[in-house]
Amino acid sequence: MTDDEPQPDRLRHDYSPWLFWTEADEEARERQLRHQRELGRRAGYTIGERCFVSGLASVQNEELRLGRWTSVAAGAHLTGSLRTGSECTMNAYTVIRGTVELGNSVRIGAHTSLLGFNHTFSDPDIEVHRQPLTSLGIRVGDDVWIGSHVVVLDGVTIGDRAVVAAGAVVTRDVPAGAVVGGNPAKVIKWRVPQLAPSASARTDDLADAVAEFADTARAQAEEILARCFEPSLGGGLFVDRPGAAPTVRAQCDAIEIADLLLGRAPGQLPAAEQVERLRSWQDPKTGMVGELLPDGNQRLPGDGLFDPDAAYHVLSVGYALELLDSAFPSPVHVVAEAGPDRLIEGLEEQRWETNAWNAGHWADVLGTAVHWNRKVGHPGRPGAAEAVFGWLLTHVDPMTGMWGSARPEDGLLQIVNGFYRVSRGTFAQFGLPVPYPERVIDTVLTHSRDVRFVRPDRQNACNILDIAHPLWLTRQSGHRDDEIVQLAGGLLRDALGHWTDRLGFGFRAPHPATVGDPATTPGLQGTEMWLAVIWLLADLVGVSEALEYRPRGVHRPIPAP
């Protein structure tokens, strides 16, 4: 060979092993067969006809059974028990550990990991590496393509003829014929359309899941309420979670949960006593309900529209009283006595462009106060309610159907969350159609793709409620209905998985990445909100009847009677 001739690529077959038996010369073939004979001397090793195992691969298995025409490329790291069918390929830098079984014709892309074992970490006082390992094993069917940079976790089964897109993190079983992608991996389409479950089958599965969830929640409701009741505080008060201070909202959340799951008031106190307490908390001067102090006593609310610490109580106390067949003893005076100019001034004082969530909350409180006042015979100053709706109709953005503007730091989050609050207390409460419903749907569906807020490990009850309710409120338009049903089904499955047995829901979804975050601790607020979210999502999918409950309080879907 002269200097001008091309040099042979000595590593070509180590990194492209499927070419070996059609290109390699006799010397290379003999070298490979010798390598295989050496491996075959190890106990538990069998290597089929026409296999290739790169000498640059790390093969440390306790058991290795390679089917015919199977190849292992350079940089692969194999440990544990690996059994393959015929014509499988493990490309460069594949990691396969633990107990793994591959069918026939499985292709695994470079830098992909199949991890058929897991660490335990149940004892926080012992280092993780000193705690036992578990292994459920990974099973891959026939004719499966697993792309590059995929991670498949222990316990997963990947069905025949499935495809796993590059970069996916597979945490649950992959149906036969499906194409999955993302983190965590979900079905994005079907390689074999005839294997896709019918809409009715998917609905039946969800109906069974929500029915099972509802049965569990009802069976544990008493225990969840008892866990958050402090009999030594103020004659007996609820706290959001053990160790927390008592709040007005906690008393109301307990009433909402008991109504949803038990069909009655919480059993910790007589219903009449709970009614009297809530009614006594209304300040006769302002009509607002001040916050509780740590000892269970109450602070008087501030004057005007609206004391921030008392504002939400217009909703929570008003609805709790309604669930107990009662009502505020007095109107919300700060609203009943305000004229059209004052209410418009209040709306314009809100920071819609930078804090649409809080501005929407203010409008929600205003609309709800108008509703309660009408129920007790105080419709307010002439033209006041009409001025509120007129302002909202003339200030909505026709491009988004919402109030306020998107922000670089959190995208559409503020305006979507603000829309829920505005519409809940005004248009939804009074049974009026929202303006630009199709634009609302477009905006919410765009927001639903923002992984910062909808990825399962980043979900909280507020953000998912603020997706579910606007889509439910505008569902009669039929706009993008298939997308809505698909989204609602996925979020519903996520939500059902957020339940903690015997404790309920935390405000934020539990996840290994959020351990220690107080918002993930189950409590009354999270439980009440997620129960409502689950109903809304289930109704969008068409399986809400399986829950055998429907929110009647703060998050009730239907207009006020």
pLDDT tens-digit series, residues 4-57 = 544 457 789 999 999 999 999 999 999 999 999 999 999 999 999 999 999 999
Same structural domain, 434 and 538: yes
What is the reported pLDDT for 1?
44
In percent, the amount of the chain with pLDDT more than 90 equals 86
In percent, the amount of the chain with pLDDT more than 70 equals 98
Same structural domain, 344 and 420: yes
From the candidates 35, 119, 498, 511, give the one annotated as an active-site residue.
119
What is the reported pLDDT for 202?
67
Same structural domain, 378 and 270: yes
Distance CA 470, CA 396 (A): 15
What is the reported pLDDT for 201?
61
List pLDDT tens digits, range 330-354: 999 999 999 999 999 999 999 999 9
* Residue 140: inside a domain: yes
Same structural domain, 212 and 189: no
Are 96 and 117 a contacting pair, CB within 8 Å?
Answer: no
Same structural domain, 224 and 163: no
Same structural domain, 506 and 539: yes
The partner residues of 218 in beta bridges, in order of sequence, read: none
For the chain, the 3-state helix, strand and coil shares in percent, each to the nearest 5, are 40, 15, 40
| 2, pLDDT greater than 70 | no
List pLDDT tens digits, range 477-494: 999 998 999 899 999 999
Distance CA 54, CA 85 (A): 18
Same structural domain, 182 and 216: no
* Residue 405: inside a domain: yes
Where residue 175 sits, what CATH number does that domain have?
2.160.10.10
* Residue 554: inside a domain: no
* Residue 414: inside a domain: yes
Same structural domain, 83 and 229: no
Total domains in the chain come to 2
What is the reported pLDDT for 199?
63
* Residue 242: inside a domain: yes
Distance CA 449, CA 439 (A): 16
Are 488 and 470 a contacting pair, CB within 8 Å?
Answer: no
Give the ranges where 167-270 is alpha helix by DSSP (H). 199-227, 248-262
Distance CA 554, CA 549 (A): 14
List pLDDT tens digits, range 439-459: 999 999 999 999 899 998 899
Segment 232-261 shows an average pLDDT of 97
Indicate whether this model's pTM tops 0.95: no
List pLDDT tens digits, range 370-389: 999 999 899 999 999 999 99
List pLDDT tens digits, range 183-241: 889 899 999 988 887 666 667 789 999 999 999 999 999 999 999 999 999 999 999 99
List pLDDT tens digits, range 292-335: 999 999 999 999 999 999 999 999 999 999 999 999 999 999 99
What is the reported pLDDT for 119?
85
Domain that holds residue 39: 12-196
| 507, pLDDT greater than 80 | yes
Residue 77: active-site member: no
Segment 265-282 shows an average pLDDT of 97
Tell me the two tokens of residue 336: 């009943």
Distances (CA, A) of 253 to 85, 106, 273, 529: 56, 52, 16, 9
Mean pLDDT across the chain, nearest whole number?
94
Lowest mean pLDDT among 259-268, 447-456, 499-508: 447-456
Where residue 380 sits, what CATH number does that domain have?
1.50.10
Distance CA 218, CA 210 (A): 12
| 276, pLDDT greater than 60 | yes
Tell me the two tokens of residue 16: 């492209």
What is the reported pLDDT for 7?
47
Query: Which residue type sits at 230?
Result: E
Are 15 and 92 a contacting pair, CB within 8 Å?
Answer: yes
Same structural domain, 231 and 138: no
| 158, pLDDT greater than 80 | yes
Same structural domain, 423 and 446: yes
What is the reported pLDDT for 196?
83
Angle between helices 461-473 and 524-541 (to 10 degrees): 30
List pLDDT tens digits, range 86-140: 999 999 999 999 999 999 999 999 999 999 998 877 678 889 889 888 888 999 9
Distances (CA, A) of 484 to 59, 211, 212, 438, 462: 48, 21, 24, 12, 19
